[in-house]
Amino acid sequence: MEVDGWADVEVRRIHPLPGVEVWIAPPPDQDPNVEELDPEDFASPTDYVQALAPGTSSATALPRPLSPGEPMLMWTLWAITDCDALVESQAPVVEFTTMLRTTRHHQMDDFYSPAFNIETLIRVGTGPAQ
């Protein structure tokens, strides 16, 4: 994400989407080898997220400051909790607070959606059977 303008903003949250639990994490110092981590080996999506980005949680990752002209990287991790509730290509909305304490919302591009392509989710066994 990158903000335009003259003042800092805070990334406050990502609005919930139907059928998913949202986790935000700052990227780790080095990328984990996700091929070595099988989500089925973990008791919960939370445990899997902790293995991907140790020491982070949805509660500790936000708010995060964002300064003009300085891109910020964040992982958005989606734990699909209800496949039937997914809405294909429904884009997440990010909430920002300005230094004047006004709230702004920005809709991300649809390819950031956890259900960008439901057919792919069905094919890999994550999404709803049709």
Task: pLDDT tens for the chain, 130 residues: list them.
Answer: 555 656 788 888 888 888 887 777 666 666 666 667 787 888 876 777 777 777 655 555 677 777 777 777 677 777 778 888 888 878 888 888 888 888 988 888 877 777 777 777 777 776 655 4
The span from the CA of 79 to the CA of 8, in Å, is 30
Q: Which two tokens stand for residue 42?
A: 């973990």
Q: Can you give the pLDDT at residue 11? A: 84
Helices (H), the chain: 45-52, 118-123
Domain assignments of the chain as residue spans, ordered by start: 9-123
What's the gap between Cα 48 and its chain centre? 14
| One-letter amino acid of 128 | P
Q: Can you give the pLDDT at residue 130? A: 47
